[in-house]
Amino acid sequence: MPAVQSPAIVLVTGASGYVAAWIVKTLLSRGFHVRGTVRSSSKGEYLVKLFEEYGSRFSYVLVEDMIVDNAYDESVRGVDAVVHTASPIGVSVHDPEDLIKPAVSGTLNLLESVRRHGSSVKRVVVTSSGQTLLSPKPDNPAIYTEADWGDAAIDEVRTKGANADYIIKYRASKILAERAAWDFVERYKNNITFDLVTVLPSFVFGPLLQEVSSLENLNTSSRMVYDALKAEKSTEDSTKYTANDVDVRDVALVHVKALESDQAGGERFIASRGPFSWQVVYDALNTANPPVSGVPKGVPGAGITTRPNIYSADKAKRVFGIEFRTLQESVVDMVANLREREVEWAAGRL
């Protein structure tokens, strides 16, 4: 019997985000009712309009600050499951605590609200990150599974503080938030009614659903793609291993499957297609049918010239029966969507 199935009510935190908006859409399309948390009424009304075809099956509630005690108390009442996507990203942070504190406190606030007020909740799915996996490995390629944890990032942040690289600060925040969630569930396992699943996406490609009023308001991964296509990278930069990628629609589906599958309870799931370089992205766009115009060509066929990491999504494929979209499908759809947004920005219609 699935842990949660439609027409159950699912709370999605941070519902106006890039990944979250697709989770909401996927849930609605599969017959669920969705209550989304947003930080402002304007973001909520945007989503109401976006999902108007689903009528009253979508609603929103305001949670202006997720680290405030009891922030989620009212949101969790009467729902059957929770998908927690809300987390800080901000690439300009100096003090690592500006990432770590809201990531950890927001997660624990949510779980505490579910424990005290969410008696109907059967499952909580938390969006973590593939970054939580990374620790040095000598293998070529280095393959990571759900058994891996990159705890060295926590030690580095403790040692270097504000001088640590941004990606290390971000990695530490995601590790500490996910660890806090697992520790919470273990601590209260004898008096809670829900279990926990975490989803670990890699770098996310694919079209946008969320409101983006200007280029400056693009989410981080979309902005990186936008910039990479506007100015051709050097051969060295374009052919080196960049990250693993996954389509946003597949990330959303993994979250929903994690709710529906009884086998998923108490498990971590990687959501990832495979490694890429920017040259691989250029080639995918230039060899599409039809080719995408106006994008860099680089050195066609050069691929990835440095040692890649590989996030293995075998577990998600096996448990959920998912086949991940190709990089080409993801980036072609993403570029088309970004260009539509660019027209809107130029016309001042957003």
**Residues 80/85/87/90 CA torsion (nearest 10 deg):** -160
CA gap 198, 190 in Å, rounded: 20
37 forms bridges with which residues in the sheet? 61
Cα–chain center distance at 120: 25
- How many C-beta neighbours within 10 Å does residue 297 have? 12
DSSP 169-205: HHHHHHHHHHHHHHHHHHHTTTS-S-EEEEEEE-EEE
Q: Which of 37-46, 88-97, 188-197, 227-236 shows the lowest per-residue confidence on average (mean pLDDT)?
A: 88-97
201 forms bridges with which residues in the sheet? 271
10 forms bridges with which residues in the sheet? 34, 81
CA gap 306, 239 in Å, rounded: 8
Rounded to two decimals, what is the model's pTM?
0.96
Site of tokens 């976006």: 50
Q: Is the pLDDT of residue 38 over 70?
A: yes
Percent of the chain with pLDDT over 70: 97
Q: Is the pLDDT of residue 350 over 60?
A: no
The count of residues in the chain is 350
Q: What pLDDT score was predicted for residue 345?
A: 82
CA gap 271, 148 in Å, rounded: 14
Q: Is the pLDDT of residue 125 over 50?
A: yes
What band does 69 get if pLDDT is binned at 50, 70 and 90?
confident
CATH topology assigned to domain 9-205+247-272+310-324: Rossmann fold (3.40.50)
Q: What pLDDT score was predicted for residue 206?
A: 97
Q: Is the pLDDT of residue 1 over 60?
A: no
Runs of H (alpha helix) within 133-289 = 152-160, 166-187, 220-230, 235-239, 248-260, 278-286
Q: What is the mean pLDDT of the chain?
A: 94
Q: What pLDDT score was predicted for residue 80?
A: 98
Residue 3 C-beta-side C-alpha neighbours within 13 Å: 26
Give me the residue spans of the domains in the chain: 9-205+247-272+310-324
CA gap 209, 16 in Å, rounded: 9
3-state helix, strand, coil in the chain (%, to 5): 45, 15, 40
pLDDT tens for each residue of 78-93: 999 999 998 776 556 7
Percent of the chain with pLDDT over 90: 86
Q: Which of 3-12, 90-99, 224-233, 288-297 shows the lowest per-residue confidence on average (mean pLDDT)?
A: 90-99
pLDDT tens for each residue of 143-178: 999 999 999 999 999 999 999 999 999 999 999 999
Q: What pLDDT score was predicted for residue 200?
A: 98
Q: Which two tokens stand for residue 149?
A: 């944890």
